[in-house]
Amino acid sequence: MNERGRVLVTAAELARLIDAGELVSILDVRWRLDAPDGRTSHLEGHIPGAVYVSLEDDLSDHTVAGRGRHPLPSGASLQESLRRWGVRDGVPVVVYDDWNRAGSGRAWWVLTAAGLTDVRILDGGLPAWCGAGGHLETGPVTPPTGNVTVPHDDLYAGAQPTLTAEEAGTANMPLFDARAPERFRGDVEPVDAVAGHIPGAKNLPFGSLLTADAAFLGAKELQTLLSENGIKQGEPVGTYCGSGITAAVVVAALAAAGQRAALFPGSWSEWSSDPQRPVERG
């Protein structure tokens, strides 16, 4: 399996797994910035067997202070959630959403940071599934309790590389801001109290790594984009966004191209919460 196949699964490939009766845990991580709870949409129609996962409640721990708007959960709490979702040791996991890969990107990053080794994002999300003729089922899904073991309790020091605020500010590697250009420049800031970006960061909007229908760019197109942004194969890079959600899409896209990237989980919401930290605009 190539690097892309380790990160992404197509709708056709997922359909073949299901039709063949292969064991696979499917997690529905529908989330939008303006509509963070996707439960209703899940109940109205989801991929057969898919279990709903709340990005806000299950993939974040809002009791943690000082780590931005979406602090990472502990491995212990994540293991409890994974078992509730029916995830078992040795069984592959597929995550999907219906928007812009933010929900599934976050899920992929959190689960792989926790040490799960076979987690893939449904490329193109739910629209790709429906477009390929995949059918949906309605109502809740309650799977048998899983037995998966999470190797890492501290996801900030888990199986995925991360940056602290201090490391993000040292600029000893290329640092990319995954937010929209107007937020990067500081023209607007609809969520956090301070507008701007971390000094020295370059803007690489996560949407630029996706096609018009929110599938990941093909390998050749992705490599071209990375080269245009000065990212050399094997060179350490870092990325951040508003709160560690959409930057996870950048990490996933780079991983699909064989490039590891370190995530600053607290991102701009953590950086800008300290008035002593410098801010750059423009």
For residue 9, give both structure tokens.
């699964």
Using pLDDT thresholds of 50, 70 and 90, give the confidence band for residue 226.
confident
Domains of the chain: residue spans and CATH: 3-155 (3.40.250.10), 165-273 (3.40.250.10)
**What are the DSSP E strand ranges found in 97-244?**
119-122, 175-177, 202-203, 237-240
pLDDT value at residue 86? 99
Are 191 and 69 in contact by the 8 Å Cβ rule? The answer is yes
**Residues catalogued as catalytic:** 241
Instruction: For residue range 110-153, list pLDDT tens digits in order.
Output: 999 999 999 999 999 999 999 999 999 999 999 999 999 999 99
- Separation between Cα atoms, residue 231 and residue 193, nearest integer Å: 31
Predicted structure pTM score: 0.97
Q: In degrees rounded to 5, what are phi and psi of residue 76?
A: -65, -45
In 3D, which of 155, 141, 8 has the Cα closest to residue 76?
155
**Rounded average pLDDT over 49-78:** 98
Q: In degrees rounded to 5, what are phi and psi of residue 206?
A: -60, -30
pLDDT value at residue 196? 98
Report whether pLDDT(219) > 90: no
